[in-house]
């Protein structure tokens, strides 16, 4: 996809996004801080969690949170730009729509890689442990799964058409993260509810190479969960976001 992107436009967009220090703080520094507080600095971090330890479990969770914050913001701003007339400006250039989309996708993945690299690097230095293949597979799922949430940002941008709404969508990810079993382990009814929320399947799938389906609850117990549950959750929400994005684009064109 990146090969289709216009290198000049992609570079300009990447510099523009990374110069926004406030956004980069919430994308990279804040999740890294959460990892240090809830993972690396805790005595329980060395305890076993599947074929890794608790520090590794928290590391994956915080990297996923940072990655979706990045892709939600980039996807949302792409929608706002198009709705506010930037699309017409680009229409005067030789760059086709496909290259615009590819450039935005490349920027989203590049920005999402920042918190992933930072937090995985911190994890390596602060005692996160798992098999080498679990490191690679979890990182791959975090990167690829985060792309789904660029559609979430796109939907919010198409509905509200403002930068404030996109910022609000990124803020709403904090609530979704709590509901999605990211910040602390849920149990009972709350865990059942969590399985239907957007972030649950994504993060559970990213953790799967380490946990192998074991879900840890607030009482210190554990239950086994089949792989199809997080896979189905991620795919279902991806389809919901994709359907809404297509419908909203068609509706906006019908109004013009």
Domain parsing of the chain, residue ranges:
2-255
Are β-strands 48-49 and 222-224 bridged in parallel, bridged antiparallel, or unpaired? Answer: unpaired
Greater model confidence, 239 or 164: 239
SS3 assignment, position 214: strand
pLDDT one-digit tens code per residue, 94-136:
666 667 667 777 888 899 999 999 999 999 999 999 999 999 9
What's the rounded Cα separation, in Å, for the pair 87 and 79?
10
What's the rounded Cα separation, in Å, for the pair 70 and 81?
17
pLDDT one-digit tens code per residue, 137-154:
999 999 999 989 988 988
What does pTM read for this prediction? 0.89
**How many CB atoms are closer than 10 A to CB 121?**
11
What's the rounded Cα separation, in Å, for the pair 37 and 107?
29
């Amino acid at each position: 996809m990146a090969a289709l992107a216009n290198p000049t436009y992609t570079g300009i967009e990447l510099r523009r996004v990374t110069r926004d220090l406030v956004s980069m703080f919430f994308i990279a520094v804040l999740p890294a801080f959460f990892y240090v507080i809830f993972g690396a600095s805790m005595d329980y971090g060395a305890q076993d969690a599947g074929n890794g330890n608790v520090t590794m479990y928290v590391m994956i969770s915080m990297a996923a949170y940072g990655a979706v914050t990045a892709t939600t913001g980039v996807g949302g701003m792409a929608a706002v730009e198009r709705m506010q007339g930037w699309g017409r400006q680009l229409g005067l250039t030789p760059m086709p729509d496909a290259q615009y989309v590819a450039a935005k996708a490349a920027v989203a993945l590049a920005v999402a890689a920042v918190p992933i690299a930072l937090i995985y690097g911190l994890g390596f230095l602060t005692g996160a442990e798992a098999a080498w293949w679990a490191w690679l597979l979890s990182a791959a799922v975090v990167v690829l799964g985060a792309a789904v949430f660029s559609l979430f940002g796109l939907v919010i941008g198409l509905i509200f058409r403002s930068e404030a709404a996109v910022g609000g969508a990124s803020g709403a990810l904090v609530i979704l993260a709590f509901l999605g079993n990211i910040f602390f382990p849920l149990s009972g009814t709350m865990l059942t509810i969590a399985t239907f929320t957007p972030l649950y399947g994504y993060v559970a799938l990213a953790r799967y190479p380490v946990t192998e389906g074991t879900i840890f609850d607030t009482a210190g117990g554990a239950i086994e969960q089949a792989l199809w549950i997080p896979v189905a959750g991620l795919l279902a929400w991806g389809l919901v976001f994709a359907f809404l994005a297509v419908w909203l684009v068609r509706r906006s064109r019908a109004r013009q």
